[in-house]
Structure 1
Amino acid sequence: MKVLEFQDLGVADRLRLSFEGGFNSHTDLQAELEPIFHALEVYAGKWMPDVVEGKRRRKYSRAAVWKALEEERDETSSAIGLYRTRAPALDMTLRLWFPPLPQRLNVWIGVQPMSFFTDTENCRAFVDMVRAWVGRYPVAYAMANGLADSQMSGAPYFGREERAARRDGFDKIYEVCWLNVFGPNLVESVGRERMLSTPAHLVEELPNGSILLVLWPTAAEFASEEARVVQARAHVHLRPDLDFDTVLRTLRERSAALVPVEPRFHPDLAPLLSRLPDEFAISERQRKIAELNAFRPPEPEEWLPVPLPSDVENPERVRSYYEDLSESFVAALHTKVPSIMEETPESLTDLDFYFWRENFPERYKQELIDEHTAPALGAYLGGMLVRRLGGTWVPRLKLEESQVRVGKRVWLPFLRARRYMQSRQSLLDYSLTQFFREAERYRP
């Protein structure tokens, strides 16, 4: 049963709920958890999970939930995942902690795309679900916000050392999100009357002493100027020690960082560079696109206008050695980069991306790279020039002087491979993709 992954919908922001409450583990567990799933079934609507995952995946049902929780339970905890097979994508986790640990119930929900919550009714139903949960499971603090904005806010620790943050919890108002539930202790620390007078779309006192606060009617419009002003006013109202202009300026900077940047990558490297932003946090992607737009790699210098004459006694044996090196390279990486077996220009881009994503030059010893990886890569790269561009090997005793003649130039693939494998940045400065495209322009 294949569930819809967030990446299946492309790179997009998502609404993220973090809910940590108490529960009674000494009563019947199904009866204790029934309100969670009742509210979910009533209010989730189009993002309702249809898959439950424990030891295996099952079609969503209450029985499947209880079975998954049972099979995942150990002495102190149990956790299950809930997902969808169709858009919008859902990643939901329910985790329980049992004695002797403090009894806790955590629910994390991610729904993508964030644009799903431009609809007022979808947002109202989401708020209704959280309200129902809070009425049954007391919380210290719960929040729902766009993932990108949460990342920029510093959540969940907000600049604190992790151990201290876990110890102290949400002991004051570090951030005001689209949806907030402030538990009784936090309400009393701020002042109940002050909190109830917060300027926001919805401020509601709940029967258990918590206060539900929603800044804006729709979650997806959190980065608009109007929503940011409301957010700043609410935050400063709850934290009089903060300066309104400073808070608003920070929020505006966060909004500006999310404005889409049109990719304008170097044409030779566009197939590679277009993959890189997705490897960063959503909050950083637009900045990375802008940086990569400005990136201009140096022109390849690993070539000669006139070939050095071959200085080996048996050129054919040396060419066979190059083939052996290339084959060992393919054998070592074909499961991680399957396309290298096809030996196409796209294979080189896949290799560039793999080495960059793995930070290969800085994860492995340089001695190992220089002795094994770089020579094998150089042989593979040179073999590509021979097979795809009609090149001819000109072997040399010194490996980095070995050449491939393509048209009126001779290229130095082993030298390129060594320079390429110096650092993560050098993987971009001396990419295999650019080297091949430059050589391709000199193909007869």
Structure 2
Amino acid sequence: MKVLTLRDLSRVDGLHFSFAGAYDPRNGLKREVAPFLDALEESANGWMPTFVKSSRTRKYSRDAVWRAMEERRTEYGTIIGLVRSENPSVSLVLNLGPEDEQAMLWVSISVQPLSVFADVETCRGFVAAARAWTSLYPSDYAAAHSLADLSLAGAPSFGRDDATRRRDGFDKIYELCWLNVFGPKLVESVGRERMLSTPAHLVEELPNGAVLLVLRPTAADFDSDEARVAQARAHVHLRPDLDFDTVLRTLRERSAALVPVEPRFHPDVAPLLNRLPDEFGISERQQKIAELNAFRPPEPEEWLPAALPSDVENPERVLTSYGDLSEGLVAALHTKLPSIMDETPESLTDLDFYFWRENFPERYTRELIDSHTAPALGAYLGDVLVRRLGGTWVLRKKREESQVRVGKRVWLPFLRARRHMQSRQSLLDYSLTQFFREAERYRG
């Protein structure tokens, strides 16, 4: 069973729900947590977690939850995870704070993909769970919304610095989500009558004085123009100091930022660029795809029309030293990049992506890169040209002048590797992937 990581959960947009509510530790943790699980099991229509994660992973059951809580219980609190690895993916973190007079229960749920909540009945179930939880565990504020749109809105700080956010919390309605639960203090600051008259799909007063507000029947169409108009109208109703046109324009801009952009990457670097978008947050991914569509790497200049004659006295010893460099790179990275052992075009793309994702040129010292990494990469690149394109080494005393003859051109792999390793951007501008593709065109 594969437990999803944060990287897995950020592949596509999902519904994110979070709240912090009070609980009474004098009743015992099992008695306090049982109602939370009751509501989850009753209302999680199609997205019920299937495993419990603590120091080990167990199939979901009440007993598994109690055992996990015992394993993770410390004087600082108890944190366990409830997960679902199949579609839809679920990550639920249940965090019970220290058992003192102000004991708090924190809940964070991510369900992916968001399209699960295009179904009205599924959304009704989620609303029922949120209603039950925030009634059982009184909260100042709770919300469920598209994770991508929350990021664009600047949640949870909404433009404030961290210290101000921690001090003030959600002290006014900075943003209106698909589902909102406003605690009594926030309701009174807005005005209970105004709050209850909000134009929305559902406005409901909870027994503890909080108000549950749901903008639309379903969560998945949050970015439609109809949904944005409804969101703006309700927000301005609750915040008369805001201008409707300004709020709506901002919401429409956020919707535009999430419109899917079709990847149309430069063919020579497409194998590399195809991997990059998932490394960015969902909210900025489409913009990055558009930027990568416009990216045109410079044509490789690390070649000569005719070979410089070899000037080494012992070619075998030089080739052995190159082999040692290349083998050192393989030894260092083969666990993270198994393909590196095969010396293929795909292994060059894997190296490009690895160095970019790690931001290698800017994380490690220039001395290490110039004296070890770049030379090893140059030797490895040259060996791939020899092995996969039928190239032959033409060796020089000055390593950066050493060449690999492929067809009618000779290529300078050490020079390419040095340029490749100058910065994170240069990993794209001087990719190993593009260099191989260019050399491949001249093989015949």
Give the TM interval when normalised to the shorter protein: over 0.9
Give the aligned partner of residue 117 of structure 1.
Answer: 117
Q: What SS does the corresponding residue of 1:45 show, helix, strand or coil?
A: coil
What CA deviation, in whole Å up to 9, does each residue of 1:120-155 have, x standing for no partner? 000011001111111211000000000000000000
Give the aligned partner of residue 314 of structure 2.
Answer: 314
What CA deviation, in whole Å up to 9, does each residue of 1:253-289 have, x standing for no partner? 0000111111100011111101100000000111111
- Against the structure 1 CA distance between its residues 374 and 4, is the aligned structure 2 distance closer, same or farther, given a 3 Å change threshold? closer
The one-letter code of the counterpart of 2:214 is V
Offset of 1:50 from its aligned partner? Answer: 1.1
Offset of 1:8 from its aligned partner? Answer: 6.5
Structure 1: distance between partners of 2:389 and 2:357? 28
Offset of 1:101 from its aligned partner? Answer: 8.0
8 Å Cα contact 1:326-1:379 kept in structure 2: yes
Structure 2 segments unaligned to the other structure (5+ residues): none
- The within-5 A match list for 1:4-83 is 11-83=11-83
Moved over 4 A (4+): 4-10
Q: What SS does the corresponding residue of 1:32 show, helix, strand or coil?
A: helix
Structure 2: distance between partners of 1:235 and 1:95? 31
RMSD: 1.3
Structure 2: distance between partners of 1:9 and 1:359? 22
Offset of 1:85 from its aligned partner? Answer: 3.5
State yes or no: 1:97 paired with 2:86: no
Give the aligned partner of residue 364 of structure 2.
Answer: 364
Structure 1: distance between partners of 2:276 and 2:101? 41
8 Å Cα contact 1:76-1:100 kept in structure 2: no
Q: What SS does the corresponding residue of 1:26 show, helix, strand or coil?
A: helix
Structure 2: distance between partners of 1:359 and 1:149? 27
Give the aligned partner of residue 282 of structure 1.
Answer: 282
8 Å Cα contact 1:261-1:286 kept in structure 2: yes
State yes or no: 1:249 paired with 2:249: yes
Structure 2: distance between partners of 1:429 and 1:173? 45
TM score, norm. by length of structure 2: 0.98
Structure 2: distance between partners of 1:8 and 1:281? 12
8 Å Cα contact 2:10-2:282 kept in structure 1: no
Give the aligned partner of residue 108 of structure 1.
Answer: 108
- Against the structure 1 CA distance between its residues 9 and 361, is the aligned structure 2 distance closer, same or farther, given a 3 Å change threshold? closer
Q: What SS does the corresponding residue of 1:405 show, helix, strand or coil?
A: strand
- Against the structure 1 CA distance between its residues 5 and 97, is the aligned structure 2 distance closer, same or farther, given a 3 Å change threshold? closer
Offset of 1:3 from its aligned partner? Answer: 3.8
Offset of 1:69 from its aligned partner? Answer: 0.8
Q: Percent identity?
A: 72
How many residue pairs end up in the alignment?
444
State yes or no: 1:143 paired with 2:143: yes
Offset of 1:100 from its aligned partner? Answer: 4.9
Q: What SS does the corresponding residue of 1:397 show, helix, strand or coil?
A: coil
The one-letter code of the counterpart of 2:317 is R
TM score, norm. by length of structure 1: 0.98
The one-letter code of the counterpart of 1:387 is R
- The within-5 A match list for 1:178-197 is 178-197=178-197
Offset of 1:426 from its aligned partner? Answer: 0.2
Give the aligned partner of residue 261 of structure 2.
Answer: 261
Structure 1 segments unaligned to the other structure (5+ residues): none
The one-letter code of the counterpart of 1:186 is L
Give the aligned partner of residue 323 of structure 1.
Answer: 323
Give the aligned partner of residue 231 of structure 1.
Answer: 231
8 Å Cα contact 1:6-1:89 kept in structure 2: no
What CA deviation, in whole Å up to 9, does each residue of 1:298-324 have, x standing for no partner? 000000001111111112211111111
Give the aligned partner of residue 390 of structure 2.
Answer: 390
Offset of 1:2 from its aligned partner? Answer: 3.0
Offset of 1:374 from its aligned partner? Answer: 0.3
Offset of 1:99 from its aligned partner? Answer: 3.9
What CA deviation, in whole Å up to 9, does each residue of 1:300-357 have, x standing for no partner? 0000001111111112211111111111111111112111001110000000000000
The one-letter code of the counterpart of 1:281 is G
